[in-house]
Every structure is written in C-alpha cells, then in structure tokens.
Chain A
Amino acid sequence: MHELAVCQALIEQVERVARDNAARRILSITVSVGPLSGIEAKLLEHAYPLAAAGTVAEEAKLVVVTVPVRVRCRTCKAETEAASNRLLCGSCNDWHVDVIAGEEMLLQRVEIETADEPVH
C-alpha cells in the first residue's frame, strides 16, 4: 500500500500550488496514472482522504485519469495498446517495442478557490 505515501507526496505538491496562488481551499485535483507506474487508481482513491485530512485539500475531489499502456514497434512501426505484462506489438507480436504511454504518475491540474474576486 505505497499509495498512501504517493498521496502524501501529492498533497505536499498541492499545498505548494495553494500557497503560490494564495488559495483558500482546493476544489479538485486531477492526476493521471498509467499501469506501469506501479500505482493502482482504486487504492489511490482510498488512500487520498487519509492524506488530505487536515490540509488545504481536505474537501477537494480527486480525479484519477487512467492512461492505457501503448507501445511503438521498432520492427513494423505500429503503435498499439498492450497489457502491462505483455509488452508486445499488437500488430506483429514482436517484443522489440518502446513504451510510449502508461508509465505516468502525474499531477495534471488543481482547481482552487482564492479569497476574493480579482479586481479588474
């Protein structure tokens, strides 16, 4: 269950964003996670309230976008989806492939509420 440690790191980043932007609270946090990051989206969602309790993100909604694994074949150049334990070309079945998506563990977007309406 290293998802709790990942959530704590996430909250620290979000707290930084909140400070830099004088946020009063965080409304939502969007992260993208691929299967090759070693993180389970469901476990991340379970761990999140524990890490967020008592922080500026306490009431924020966590949005987890899961990214499928995609590989590019060095032999036939096809780009296909793959299972994380079968990184083979979906077109020609070759194992000489490069992973082009599915390793992400990224903080994408933070929706914040600041104290006042900005002055124009």
Chain B
Amino acid sequence: MCRDCGCSLGPAAARAPFAAQPATKGHIESIEVITAILDENDRVAAHNRTHFDRHGVLAVNLMSSPGSGKTSLLEATIRALQGELRIAVIEGDLATENDAARIRACGVPAVQITTGNACHLDAQMVHDALQDLPLDGLDVLFVENVGNLVCPASFDLGVHRNLTLLSVPEGDDKPAKYPVMFRGADLALITKVDLLPHIEEFSVERARDSLRQVGFRGDIIELTRRGGPGFEAWLGWLRSGVAARRAAAA
C-alpha cells in the first residue's frame, strides 16, 4: 500500500496463470474497446503527479543517450543551488548504484532504481521509489531516466517537465534519428558546448533545425556544466519552475 496517501498502489502483484480450456466450440463475440494500451501506466503517472502537487514539488524527468552528461549536470546543479533549493534525485539504471552514490556525495537524498533488463522507467517504478523518498520539504525532484533515446519516451512518469539532453559529441542530427524522444520534451539542453571548438561537425544551428523539424516547440539551452550564461539560464528555468509549483500549491 502506498505510504503517502494510503492508496492501494504498490509493487505490481503476481498474476495467477491461466488454466487451459477445452477445445470445444463456444460463442464468438467481437468487443470494441478503444483504450490507450498504457492506460494503467498513465493512471499511476497521474497518481504520482498528485503526490508531487500536494507537496508543491517540481518533478523533472531527464532523458538522453548514455553519457550525454545527465548525472554531471545534476551534480553541478545541486552544488550551484546549495542552500537555495532543496533537491532529491531518483536514479534509473540497468545496474549499479554508481549514480545515486555520486548524487549522495553532493549532500542530497538519492534513490537508485535498478531496472535489470528494462530499458526505461515507468510510473510504477517511480511510485515505488517514492516510498523511500519523503517529499516533505523538497523543492525539486529530478528523475534521471535510463540512458536511452527510444524507450523512455513512451512512458509518462507523472513529472511536470520532461527534458532531453543532446551532447555535442553525439552529433547534431540526433533529433532527426530519434524524433519521438525529442518531440515530447518540454526543454532541450545542448550539453558539453565547451567541446564545440574541437568537434567542428556539430552545428548548433543544424541541431536547432533538427529539433524544429521533429515538432519540438520548447526552449533550447546551450550549456556546459562548468558554468557560464547557458548554465545560468538553466538555473533560471528551474527557479521559475519551482516558483510556479509553489504558487500552484499555495
């Protein structure tokens, strides 16, 4: 049972196997259903969102390829906002506690979800992780999704904002190659821009065009975790998101 609100959502229950039926002819019916296949995930996602809203917490999902700088960005963000915003992180990886350990070393709570072979987080995994993460007194909850530009895009986690990172070494045509992921994002971060002088194949203009062509309509921030105007713009984006959540919860 969910500790937070007493709802009956919990780790998914095991199902009883179906007993084989005799092969006699019965009555045949065709039933029109028309429901979203992931409607159970969507229901749990809506439930997560209610939790976040009740606590006035801004929940942000970070998605990208492996190695594009999600954890490094979080480390730099936590350090920059120390004493200003209270942050916690849910880390998703196939294996290891490495990323959660890195976040805890920055002095904020982190829960690691190890998905085994699952290539994405879903709303139920986030809901389960919330059992170990008190939301009271938090301003921002980051969910760092499994590094993957395909699968996480299909699962609503119940967060307020979805972010997709595109790092300079990956190439400026990533949005064209993975349109579903980039189209669904509210904010795109072009990371590791300090490498631009060394990677002349990457054009920020082409990356922006590629984002526009896949239907991305959010803001685009170019940044490096080492600081500078892009990093400040990212912090500003977070601060205004937190202010909006506080106003909504008041």
Binding site for B on A (CB under 8 A): 1-2, 5-6, 9-10, 12-13, 15, 17, 21, 24-25, 27, 31, 35-39, 54-56, 58, 84-88, 95, 97, 99, 105-118
A9 adjacent to B41 (CB under 8 Å): yes
**Residue B122 at the chain A interface, CB threshold 8 Å:** yes
Q: Report which residue of A6, A9, A38 has the largest number of chain B beta carbons within 10 angstroms of its beta carbon.
A: A38
- Residues of A contacting B198 with CB < 8 Å? none
Which of B134-142, B176-184, B233-241 makes up part of the contact surface?
A: B176-184
A113 adjacent to B27 (CB under 8 Å): yes
Contacts A10-B37, A27-B28, A38-B150 given; indicate if A1 touches B119 (C-beta within 8 A). Answer: yes
- Residues of B contacting A87 with CB < 8 Å? 179, 183, 213-215
**Residue B62 at the chain A interface, CB threshold 8 Å:** no
- Measured between alpha carbons, how far is A1 from B119 in the docked complex, in Å? 7
- Residues of A contacting B200 with CB < 8 Å? none
- Residues of B contacting A110 with CB < 8 Å? 30-31, 33
B214 adjacent to A58 (CB under 8 Å): no
Contacts A106-B35, A111-B30 given; indicate if A24 touches B179 (C-beta within 8 A). Answer: no
- Residues of B contacting A15 with CB < 8 Å? 15, 18
Which of B46-54, B91-99, B151-159 makes up part of the contact surface?
A: B151-159
- Residues of B contacting A114 with CB < 8 Å? 26-29
**Residue B219 at the chain A interface, CB threshold 8 Å:** no
B18 adjacent to A56 (CB under 8 Å): yes
Which of B21, B151, B153 is the one whose CB lies under 8 Å from A25?
A: B21
Between A and B, 10 residue pairs with Cβ closer than 8 Å are A2-B118, A2-B151, A17-B31, A24-B26, A38-B151, A55-B18, A95-B212, A109-B31, A110-B30, A112-B29
Over the window 35-48 of chain B, the binary record of Cβ atoms lying under 8 Å from chain A Cβ atoms (1 yes, 0 no) is: 11111110000000
**Residue B6 at the chain A interface, CB threshold 8 Å:** no
Which of B26, B40, B213 is the one whose CB lies under 8 Å from A115?
A: B26
- Residues of B contacting A86 with CB < 8 Å? 176, 213-214
- Measured between alpha carbons, how far is A21 from B33 in the docked complex, in Å? 12
- Measured between alpha carbons, how far is A58 from B153 in the docked complex, in Å? 28
**Other A-B pairs, 14, CB within 8 Å; known A31-B37, A38-B154:** A2-B155, A5-B118, A5-B155, A9-B38, A9-B39, A12-B15, A38-B150, A38-B181, A86-B213, A87-B179, A107-B33, A108-B33, A110-B31, A112-B29
A116 adjacent to B213 (CB under 8 Å): no
B27 adjacent to A58 (CB under 8 Å): no
B154 adjacent to A37 (CB under 8 Å): yes
A9 adjacent to B154 (CB under 8 Å): no
- Residues of A contacting B38 with CB < 8 Å? 6, 9, 105
B27 adjacent to A118 (CB under 8 Å): yes
- Measured between alpha carbons, how far is A95 from B211 in the docked complex, in Å? 11
